[in-house]
Amino acid sequence: MRLAALLSVIIVLSPTIQLVRPWHVKTKQISPVILVPGDGGSQVEARINKSSVVHYICAKISNDYFNLWLNMELLVPVVIDCFIDNLKLNYDNVTRTTSNQPGVDIRIPGWGNPFVVEYIDPSRASPGSYFKDIGNMLVNDLGYIRNLSIRGAPYDFRKGPSENEEFFAKLKTLVEETYIMNNNTPVTLLVHSMGGPMTLIMLQHQSQKWKDKYINAFITLSAVWAGSVKAIKVFAIGDDLGAYFLRESVLRDEQITSPSLGWLLPSKLLWKDTEILVQSDQKNYTLSNLQQYFIDIDVPNAWEFRKDNEKYQLDFTAPGVEVHCLYGNKVDTIVLQTRYEYKWLP
């Protein structure tokens, strides 16, 4: 309810507001909302035509695109090996770009449709809900209409901003299109986690005249502005995504191929070179020897991912629009990794 009250004040277009009570807004035209998800917050589809597979039960050919992420049926033991092999990226340190696995064609479905970011599982099973509660609140409490005044902006979250130029161009166009669909009403960008810095990059590349015309507000939910120590942990042992039935070590095989993870490493703007990030019996790791850390855990590409995308992390130019930063509290957050989690560290 508190979130609904807060958003009801922020996302209506100020010139048309008539405040009835502090928690209720009466307006002629609400500001349309575009939902931009974070890492893992977009559906992923694949079509395959492979000459070889990692396990005999894995399919080599699909007649059409099928749901790859999130698909709970693909996360069971053994079958998960097929899933990981299909979702992996291959990095070329000459072109500084990634490609899908041979014989795998990946696409991100549902551009503009809010349902693909409200539920990352197309079956709409509860483990795959994402922006669902916010979408329902906008519709039920504030009178929004999906695919008209609520839009979705999914993207390939595996890749960093250096490979997501198409997304930035499409997001700009989606803003303009949504503005027109809603009687020339400025748009509110409601973003989560990695969607925060992704959207910031788009805004930084627009003129002030464009932003004054098309943007009402930029609302960020727990945006990863300065990176995260958790990214260091994921490169080392993986992340189970909060699911007890998934093994970190298995998922790591795919996660460490994603340049976006390198982009989410701690930023030198807010972490000191002397601040310990990983602690072991023989050696401590800080930003000053982070490259050596990746060598020691045998993930040298992680440093290349950082080099390719760090310039975006270091550009904190103001977006030039009204900004509201929302964040949680009393949530356990990783601030230091210790040796017991990394048995192979020196």
**For the chain, what are the domain ranges?**
33-338
What does the pLDDT read at residue 20? 37
Q: CB within 8 A of 317, min separation 6: which ones?
A: 204
Read off the pLDDT of residues 200-226 as tens digits, 9 standing for 90 and up: 999 999 999 999 999 999 999 999 999
What does the pLDDT read at residue 159? 98
Alpha-carbon span 303 to 305, nearest angstrom:
5
| Residue 170: count of CB within 10 angstroms of its CB | 16
Q: What DSSP string describes 55-124?
A: STTS-SB-SS-EEEET-GGGGSTTHHHHHHHHH-EEEETTTTEEEEPTTEEEE---TB-THHHHBSSTT-
Which residues does residue 58 pair with via DSSP β-bridges, in sequence order? none
Ranges under pLDDT 50 in the chain: 1, 13-27, 340, 344
Q: CB within 8 A of 154, min separation 6: which ones?
A: 37, 41, 42, 43, 108, 109, 110, 111, 116, 117
The dihedral sign for the CA sequence 100, 297, 161, 331: positive
Read off the pLDDT of residues 129-171 as tens digits, 9 standing for 90 and up: 999 999 999 999 999 999 999 999 999 999 999 999 999 999 9
What does the pLDDT read at residue 280? 81
Helix, strand or coil, per DSSP, at residue 330: coil
Pairing, β 323-326 against β 215-221? parallel
Contact 198, 161 (CB under 8 A): yes
Nearest to 72, CA basis, from 128, 114, 116: 128
What does the pLDDT read at residue 19? 37
Alpha-carbon span 105 to 126, nearest angstrom:
27
What does the pLDDT read at residue 211? 98
Q: What DSSP string describes 146-208?
A: BTTTEEE----TTS-GGG-HHHHHHHHHHHHHHHHHTTS-PEEEEEETTHHHHHHHHHHTS-H
Alpha-carbon span 158 to 234, nearest angstrom:
14
What does the pLDDT read at residue 28? 58
What does the pLDDT read at residue 134? 96
Contact 298, 183 (CB under 8 A): no
Contact 37, 113 (CB under 8 A): no
Which residues does residue 324 pair with via DSSP β-bridges, in sequence order? 219
Alpha-carbon span 87 to 64, nearest angstrom:
16
Q: Measured between alpha carbons, how far is residue 192 from residues 108, 123, 237, 335 in Å?
A: 18, 22, 24, 21
Alpha-carbon span 192 to 234, nearest angstrom:
19
Q: What is the pTM of this model?
A: 0.91
The dihedral sign for the CA sequence 342, 344, 345, 346: positive
CATH superfamily, domain 33-338, is Alpha/Beta hydrolase fold, catalytic domain (3.40.50.1820)
What does the pLDDT read at residue 314? 95
What does the pLDDT read at residue 3? 60
Alpha-carbon span 267 to 260, nearest angstrom:
14
